[in-house]
Amino acid sequence: MGDWVARWVQAHDVSGVTQATYDSHLRNHILPRFAGTELGELSRMVIKAWAKSCGGR
């Protein structure tokens, strides 16, 4: 997923503030858990369980 995220970020033309927000969320929350995960391994159940484990952060 890490490689896909890098391509996704580059493909979206957003403001500097939005880019900084995306980078922060990715670096601090999403990639620590999913960087090594294959996209095919992701499911709604996996994402929901992860979101629940974050405790509303």
**pLDDT of res. 57:** 55
**pLDDT of res. 20:** 94
**pLDDT of res. 56:** 61
Q: Where along the chain do its domains lie?
A: 2-53
**Cα(14)–Cα(4) distance, integer angstroms:** 18
Digit-coded pLDDT (tens) for 1-57: 888 988 988 898 999 999 999 999 999 999 999 999 999 999 999 999 999 998 865
**pLDDT of res. 1:** 87
pTM: 0.74
**Cα(44)–Cα(46) distance, integer angstroms:** 5
